[in-house]
Each structure stands twice: as C-alpha cells, then as structure tokens.
Amino acid sequence: MGVREVKLVEPSEEWESAFVEMASECSALGDTRYELALTDFPAYLRRVADGRAKVQPAGRVPGTEYWLEDFGRILACVRLRFQLTGELEQEGGHVGYDVRPSMRRLGYGTQLLRLALLVLRERGIRRVRITCDDDNIGSIRTIENNGGVLEDVVSGPDLDGPKRRYWIDARVAAVGDA
C-alpha cells in the first residue's frame, strides 16, 4: 500500500492546528464528534485528560485518546477504554477510532489499530473487544487485518443497526511490533 510508518501522539496544545484541520475535515462531512475541539480546543483537551482519571462518572470508564501523526499531520484518532461495561461489551469495546476522510482506504486504520493494541497490551489488557457496524467494510478489514476474530453479529432496539463484535488477542496481534 505504500503507507509510511506513523506514530501515536498524545493530545496537546502542540498539535492544535493539525488536529483542528482534521476535525474541520470531519465536520465538513457532518461528523460532529470533534465540535468541541473546533469551538474550544483547551476544553477538548481537558475532556481527554478527565477521561484518564481512574474514577469516572457513572456509566463511564477510564481511557484515553491518541492521534495518529505523520510529518506534522494528524491522520486519525483512537479512543481507548481500559475497562468494559456491559454496554461497551455489546457496542463500543476497548477501541474506537476514525481516520480523517481524505486518508481513508490507505491503510492508516490498520496501522492505527496495531499501535493501539500495543498500548492496550502495555496496560495489561490481553483480550481486546472491538465492534463495528456490520456494513462498515473498511473497519471489518482493519479489525481482521489486526487479528480480529468475529464472535457474532448482534442487533437490538438500542443499536443503530447490526454490530459485528470481535475479540483480538493483543499478545498475538502485536507480536513483532513491540
């Protein structure tokens, strides 16, 4: 694919302009998840920092966020959860990620997930739950390219549509990458 080696960086003021550029690209296509970063970047960083606390409000779990960087550009974002609730096991899992629209279908999602699995492995999480929409071919490939084993496809009134639920053994998936 010709994808270069990229790295995860921690969210910080240093990356504001690069992250806002990615957030703007996502927003232009109707993705609102980064609206806070576009309107109040310091508040966005505080929210990320607050998510790292061991004690979280009811229904939330500790986690963090990293950005995939390549020569000063932010290409993607990954959100890691260090625990699972019943709801997260059903939909969401340990990992949530997205690649900026102009960088999709270039292999960056696969690299992002590989690097995220290394972080989870370092945190002692060996069995990683990850989910995606049943019709999201890009995420299906990304997950399976990283050793994802399909457990099942679930549907229900609380879900937007059918969800594929995978497990990844982080010890196996990241072998040779440490």
Q: What is the pTM of this model?
A: 0.89
Judge whether residue 177 has pLDDT over 80. no
Q: What is the pLDDT of residue 13?
A: 97
Task: Report the chain's mean pLDDT, rounded to a whole number.
Answer: 91
Q: Is the pLDDT of residue 38 over 70?
A: yes
The answer for residues whose C-beta is within 8 angstroms of residue 176's C-beta and 6 or more apart is none
Residue-wise pLDDT tens digits, 121-160: 999 999 999 999 999 999 999 999 999 999 999 988 777 8
Domains of the chain: 7-125 (3.40.630.30)
% of the chain at pLDDT higher than 70? 94
> Would you say 85 and 94 are in contact if contact means Cβ atoms under 8 Å apart?
no
The band of 3, judged by pLDDT with boundaries at 50, 70 and 90, is low
* C-alpha distance from residue 102 to each of 3, 44, 144 (Å): 14, 23, 22
Give residue 1's pLDDT.
Answer: 46
Over residues 48-71, mean pLDDT: 91
**pLDDT at residue 5 tops 60:** yes
Question: What's the confidence (pLDDT) of residue 60?
Answer: 87
Residue 110, phi then psi, degrees to nearest 5: -65, -45
**Tell me, what amino acid is at 53?**
A
Write the DSSP assignment of 87-129 as a string of letters.
Answer: HHHHTTBSEEEEE-GGGTTTTHHHHHHHHHHHHHHHTT--EEE
CA distance 95 to 107: 17
pLDDT score recorded for residue 56: 85
Instruction: Determine the length of the chain.
Output: 178
